[in-house]
Amino acid sequence: REIDVLWTLKSGASTESSADEPLGCSTFIVAIGHHAAAFLSSFILDSVCWEVVGVVKLWNEWCRTSNTTNVLPTDSFCLFYRLISDPTVLLCQCSCYVAEDQQFQWLEKVFGCMRKEGLQVTILSTCPVADYKTQESTLTLPSPFLKALKTKEFKEQVCCPLLEQPNIVRDLPAAVLSYCQVWQIPAVLYQCYTDVIKLDTVTIEAFKPLLSSKILKSLVKDASESTKILKKLLTTNETHSNIYI
């Protein structure tokens, strides 16, 4: 159940996560789950502007990460990208399940490679609307919707309402946010509550208000191109979810 983080920062050669030189990083965007990863693929990632610089290898009862960087929406993977024009901007797409006993390893090995001074973290994730605690009936909620949770050090304006008590977040998104709180790193988690399990346009586009945030505003690519990529992602997903008899 060991987690391996491999970086390919120099001449394509893989290096272990315990690199002597920590990465200088000003912005770290983490998309956890298929919907959040698909949002970044559609609206932020561009093969011309970004390069793959790392990968996490892990396995557990629920997943085994894919061995290729040419991933499909249904694949389990955890890849790191770096903005070519500004190498201090890192992005992580994590579509694999990280078990509870592996989360501390993931945090130590990923954040252990980065300088924490001047770092700001943005986390995107989804969870079932049934997990949202409110006095209203969840049937009347305008699903999907966004809620934010931030660390004490995060001083910027958030793009949606804050998550109310007694709601909690869990799994890897909660672990990343807690790590940032302990290490006094400015961080914000945007959690999308949805009633849809499989990839769908409405849930992915629920993250669109974040495109106006200070962090993502400068990274947004052409809107028409984003729509094409989103349609392609969903078409590929539908093809792979068919059952033939």
The model's pLDDT over 202-229, given as tens digits with 9 standing for 90+, comes to 999 999 999 999 889 889 876 656 565 6
Asked whether residue 160 is domain-assigned, the answer is yes
Summary count for the chain: helices (H), strands (E): 6, 9
Amino acid of residue 80: F
pTM for this model (two decimals): 0.86
Asked whether residue 233 is domain-assigned, the answer is no
Domain with 145 in it: 3-7+23-62+72-223
Q: Going by DSSP bridges, is the β-strand pair 89-94/50-57 parallel, antiparallel, or unpaired?
A: unpaired
Domain count, the chain: 1
pLDDT in tens, 88-140: 999 999 999 999 999 999 999 999 989 999 999 999 999 998 889 988 776 77
Asked whether residue 13 is domain-assigned, the answer is no
* pLDDT surpassing 80 at residue 14: no
> CA 128 from chain center: how many Å?
17
Asked whether residue 95 is domain-assigned, the answer is yes
- What CATH number did the domain enclosing 116 receive? 3.40.50.10900
pLDDT in tens, 24-58: 899 999 999 999 999 999 999 987 899 999 999 99
Q: Which residues of 214-232 are buried (b: 16+ CB within 10 A; e: fewer)?
A: ebbeebeeeeeebeebbee
Q: Is the dihedral of CA 122, 158, 205, 225 positive or negative?
A: negative
pLDDT in tens, 154-176: 999 999 999 999 999 999 999 99
